[in-house]
Homo-oligomer: A and B are copies of this chain.
Amino acid sequence: MTTEEKFMRLAIRQARVAEKEDEVPVGCVIVKDGKVIARAHNRRQNTQIATYHAEILAIERACKKIGFWRLEDCELYVTLEPCPMCAGAAINARIKRIVFGAYDRKAGCCGSVYNLPTDERFNHRPQVEGGVLCEECANILSTYFKNKRKTP
């Protein structure tokens, strides 16, 4: 198991927590110096707050943990390719590297619809690695939506 897979497994565990809470199952962990400093899952449905994606909540927690808004030595692991809001949050937080699982062809902004982190016009450019444990991350989402459609 690679380091990327090890931390993606922890993000997947967060996605499973979301799943149990009947949230769209996306999970995220933030890693600094080889240690997880923040973990979060999507909470939009249960809080009814539009911005409570896993990445936003994890970045918020990581900032609180280290007491600094710049997460310069931090890596963000997330099971789904970040949307514009979350890719933008990673840029704003000076995240060093974004590692994501499944691709989001409809709203992903780390390569699919846009590739915001690589845009040289912004003042920070996180590295991006996509497709880590891709199939497993995608399956969690597709199973969730399949079951949703079955529920009357």
In the bound assembly, the distance between CA atoms of A123 and B83 in angstroms comes to: 12
Contact indicator A49/B44 (Cβ below 8 Å): no
In the bound assembly, the distance between CA atoms of A63 and B71 in angstroms comes to: 27
Q: A106-B121, A113-B121 given as contacts; is B92 within 8 A of A50 (CB)? A: yes
Count residues of A near B (Cβ-Cβ below 8 Å). Answer: 39
Contact indicator A49/B70 (Cβ below 8 Å): no
In the bound assembly, the distance between CA atoms of A44 and B70 in angstroms comes to: 10
Let me know if A51 is at the binding interface, CB within 8 A. yes
Contact indicator B123/A119 (Cβ below 8 Å): no
Contacts of A44-75 to chain B: CB distance below 8 A: 44-45, 47-51, 53, 56, 59-60, 63-64, 67-71
Q: A49-B60, A121-B113 given as contacts; is B93 within 8 A of A88 (CB)? A: no
Most B Cβ at <10 Å: residue of A48, A88, A91: A88
Partner of A93, one of B51, B67, B84, B107: B51
In the bound assembly, the distance between CA atoms of A136 and B87 in angstroms comes to: 30
Give A45's nearest chain B residue, CB to CB.
B69
Contact indicator A109/B93 (Cβ below 8 Å): no
Let me know if A80 is at the binding interface, CB within 8 A. no
Most B Cβ at <10 Å: residue of A59, A60, A85: A85
A100-133 interface bits toward B, Cβ cutoff 8 Å, 1 = contact, 0 = none:
0000001101000110100101110000000000
The 6 A-B pairs of least Cβ separation, nearest first, read: A85-B88, A84-B88, A50-B93, A50-B69, A49-B63, A85-B89
